[in-house]
Amino acid sequence: MRLRELAHSRTGDKGDTSNISVIAFDLADFALIAREVTAARVSEHFRGFVTGDVLRYELPQLGALNFVMRGALRGGVTRSLALDAHGKCLGSAILDLEIEDAAAGYECMK
């Protein structure tokens, strides 16, 4: 299933850095999301788009992850030539990630 089924997201910007939150609709899904949506996975998802590193912060009590992506905004909001200079749409793009739900798969097989 897509991450969109499990989580919602908002993007913020500071200079050339973009941050994307990934927040579970249901706290019970947080462990699955935390396992599947790693910094490496997000970095690969935005390959070619984000030039710097991707860091991940966790707020388990809120069921939330925060991804900080350096070099994501074409030199920064104020001078970027991009149509979406703020990178506001990146949060929607992350929700496209495919999530492998091993537990659900097992239940289906039973």
Partner 1 sequence: MRTVRIGAGAGFSGDRIEPAIELAEKGDLDFLVFECLAERTIALAQQARLRDPAAGFDPLLVARMRAVLPACRARGVRIVTNMGAANPIAAADAVRSVARELGLQGLRVAAISGDDILREVQAGDYRLDETDQPVSGLGSRLISANAYLGAAPIAEALSHGAEIVITGRAADPALFLGPLVHAFGWSMTDWTRLGRGTIVGHLLECAGQITGGYFADPGYKDVPDLARLGFPIGEVDEDGNVTVTKVSDTGGAVTPATVKEQLLYEIHDPARYLQPDVIADFSGVQIAETGPDSVRVTGGGGAARTGFLKVSVGYIDSYVGEGQISYAGPGAMERGRLAVEIVAERLKIMGVACHETRGELIGVDSILGARLSASSSTPREVRVRFVGRTDSLAEAERIGNEVESLYLNGPAGGGGAAKSTREIVGIVSTLVPETQVRPSIHIKEA
Residues binding partner 1 (CB under 8 A):
4, 8-10, 12-17, 19, 21, 23, 25, 45-49, 55, 57, 59, 61-64, 66, 68, 76-79, 81-84, 89-90, 93, 96
Spatial neighbors of 30 by CB under 8 A, at least 6 apart, are 24, 60, 63
CA–CA separation, 109 and 102 (whole Å): 11
Minimum CB distance to partner 1 smaller for 47 or for 110? 47
Supply the minimum distance, in Å, between the C-beta of residue 89 and partner 1. Answer: 5
